[in-house]
Amino acid sequence: MTSTLIWILVALVAIGLYLSWTAGRLDRLHARIDAARAALDAQLLRRASVAQELATSGVLDPAASIVLYEAAHAARQAEEEQREVAESELSQALRAIFGEPQQVEAVREAPGGEEAARELAQAVRRVPMARRFHNDSVRAARALRRHRKVRWFRLAGHAPFPMAFEMDDEPPVALADRATS
């Protein structure tokens, strides 16, 4: 009888340790999502800021300046529910304005334009990487949260279900080429 109770106690302790380890892993994944989201937000803000700065610098033609400024301003001011749409619209505006290498060259030739073109190229290159890292973290947490043991024992606590950030982040061809050179 005593040995049976000891084995039951050992099994319960082992199960408890396993569940505790799983809860800790899930907590680390949620922390990683938070860090990745902060990095993504920083990159999106940097891209919108650089675009807004470029739009007000006077190196673009007036129509392109207005389109770029409005898209960047909307991306910076968007509420969380509309953020993905606003960021996608900024990507589309950047592709429309910097789709041709001639526009990038015109910016480079303006005073301070070389620095602005380089900074914008870096910003549009970093956004997809940050978004991919965030979405990979979300995917890992979702996979773990789908397991029965996590649901049955409520190991996720009250943490919200992680959501991926879906947006159009394709960089303009002329800027993407510029970022690699």
Query: Could you report the per-residue pLDDT of 66-113, keeping only the tens digit for each?
Result: 999 999 999 999 999 999 999 999 999 999 999 888 888 888 888 888
Is 17 contained in some domain?
no
- Helix/strand/coil for 159: coil
Is 66 contained in some domain?
yes
Structure tokens at 96: 């429309």
Q: Count CB neighbours of 120 within 10 A.
A: 26
Compute the distance between CA of residue 105 and CA of residue 96 in angstroms, rounded to an integer.
Answer: 15
DSSP 169: -
Is 3 contained in some domain?
no
Is 12 contained in some domain?
no
Structure tokens at 11: 């099994």
* pTM summary value: 0.90
pLDDT at 177: 64
32-67 residue pLDDT tens? 999 999 999 999 999 999 999 999 988 888 999 999
Structure tokens at 69: 């400024």
Domain count, the chain: 1
